[in-house]
């Protein structure tokens, strides 16, 4: 029908925008990992900071996306950087929280044993805590990525491109084909991220820790 014609005619543009969209989400989550994992590890060692850090990241989550885009735009203007920064901020909470939970969930008995074997704190982190926490951290990454892909639709307002360009242009011109042309790929990306990382989680979780079905 008409919509299929539209998609075929505009395939290069749609693919371009989808790529841009995915890139935005990935960059945001990547930056959140670079900052969030160390922070998560840090607060697991310094319990005093757990409250404040989690409170701040939770507060960031509560800021409505349009408002956050506006706030970041004040400093970074209309640009890709604005888009990535907003997505980065939103991805922080799942990652920090899950890193913290993952690392602290490792049984203290196991850590005792490792210390008994003569491992340094750094070694314990690297060889015991992180691998076991990986499964939980991955869940955080999954949540972060799926949210990022969803929120990235708004980033075209920040001048960052992505499928939102098509959606908003479609709304402006009351053109359903354009709206669908942007919304469907975005929804598909979200589902893909959800399923894809879900599969990765199952593969990387040591057998003993697999959730029972």
Partner 1 sequence: MNEIITTLSNPRIQQQILEQAKEHLMISFSAVLLAILIAVPLGIFLTRCERLANPVMTVVGLLQTIPSIALLAFMIPLLGIGWRPALAALFLYALLPILRNTYAGIRSVDRGVLEAGRGMGMTPLQLLFLVELPMSFRVIMNGIRVSTVSIIGWATLAAFVGAGGLGDTILSGFALVSTGLILAGGIPVTLMALLADFLLGRLEKAVTPRGLAI
Partner 2 sequence: MRTKYKVFTAAILVAILALAAGCGGSKGGRAGKVVIGSKEFTESIVLGEMVAQLIEENTDIQVERKLNLGGTKVNFDGIRNGDLDMYVEYDGTAYTAHLGHTEPITDRAGFFDQVNKELQEKFGLTFTAPLGFNNTYTLAMPRKLAEQYGIETFSDLVPHSRNFAFVGTTEFMARSDGYEPLVEAYGFTFKSAIQMKPGLRWAAIEDGSVQVIDAFATDGNLKAFDMKILEDDKDFFPPYNAAVLVRMDTLEANSGLKELLDSLGGRLSDEKMQELNYRVAMLEEDPADVARDFLKSEGLIP
For residue 35, state whether it binds partner 2 (rule: CB under 8 A): yes
Q: Which of 4, 74, 118, 122 binds partner 2 (CB under 8 A)?
A: 122
How many angstroms separate the CA atoms of 160 and 153, rounded? 10
If DSSP states are collapsed to H, E and C, what string results for 59-82?
A: HHHHCCHHHHHHHHHHHHCCCHHH
**In this chain, which stretch among 28-36, 63-71, 141-149, 194-202 interacts with partner 2, using CB under 8 A?**
28-36
Asked if residues 84 and 159 have their Cβ atoms less than 8 Å apart, the reply is no
For residue 110, state whether it binds partner 2 (rule: CB under 8 A): no
How many angstroms separate the CA atoms of 153 and 126, rounded? 37
**In this chain, which stretch among 55-63, 97-105, 107-115, 173-181 interacts with partner 2, using CB under 8 A?**
173-181
Site for partner 2 in 53-82 (CB under 8 A): 76, 78-81
Asked if residues 200 and 138 have their Cβ atoms less than 8 Å apart, the reply is yes
Distance of CA 25 to the CA centre of its chain: 7
Give the number of residues in contact with partner 2, rule: CB under 8 A.
31
How many angstroms separate the CA atoms of 144 and 25, rounded? 9
Residue 109: CB minimum distance to partner 1, A:
24
Asked if residues 26 and 146 have their Cβ atoms less than 8 Å apart, the reply is no
Q: What are the tokens at 11?
A: 């395939």
Q: Identify which of residues 133 and 170 has a Cβ nearer to partner 1 in the complex.
A: 170
For residue 85, state whether it binds partner 2 (rule: CB under 8 A): yes
Asked if residues 114 and 72 have their Cβ atoms less than 8 Å apart, the reply is no
| Coil, helix or strand at residue 9 | helix
Of 76, 87, 71, nearest to 28 (Cα)?
87
For residue 39, state whether it binds partner 2 (rule: CB under 8 A): yes
For residue 111, state whether it binds partner 2 (rule: CB under 8 A): no
Q: Identify which of residues 58 and 120 has a Cβ nearer to partner 1 in the complex.
A: 58
Residue 145: CB minimum distance to partner 1, A:
12
Q: Which of 121, 188, 191, 209 binds partner 2 (CB under 8 A)?
A: 121
Q: What are the tokens at 101?
A: 């939970």
Q: Identify which of residues 88 and 201 has a Cβ nearer to partner 2 in the complex.
A: 88
Write out the residues near partner 2 by the rule CB under 8 A: 9-10, 31, 34-35, 38-39, 41-42, 45-46, 76, 78-81, 84-85, 88, 121-122, 159, 165, 168-169, 171-175, 177
């Amino acid at each position: 029908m008409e919509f299929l014609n539209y998609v075929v005619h505009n395939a290069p543009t749609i693919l371009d925008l989808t790529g841009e969209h995915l890139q935005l989400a990935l960059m945001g989550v990547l930056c959140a990992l670079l900052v969030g994992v160390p922070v998560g590890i840090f607060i697991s060692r310094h319990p005093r900071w757990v409250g404040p850090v989690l409170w701040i990241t939770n507060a960031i989550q509560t800021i409505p996306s349009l408002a956050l885009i506006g706030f970041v735009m004040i400093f970074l203007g209309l640009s890709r950087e604005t888009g990535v920064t907003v997505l980065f901020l939103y991805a922080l909470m799942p990652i920090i929280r899950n890193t913290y939970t993952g690392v602290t969930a490792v049984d203290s008995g196991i850590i005792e044993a490792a210390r008994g074997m003569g491992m340094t704190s750094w070694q314990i982190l690297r060889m015991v805590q992180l691998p076991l926490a990986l499964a939980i951290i991955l869940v955080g990454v999954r949540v972060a990525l799926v949210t990022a892909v969803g929120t990235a639709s708004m980033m075209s307002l920040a001048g960052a491109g992505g499928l939102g360009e098509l959606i908003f242009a479609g709304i402006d011109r009351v053109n359903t084909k354009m709206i669908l042309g942007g919304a469907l790929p975005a929804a598909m990306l979200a589902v893909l991220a959800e399923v894809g990382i879900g599969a990765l989680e199952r593969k990387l979780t040591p057998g003993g820790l697999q959730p029972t079905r």
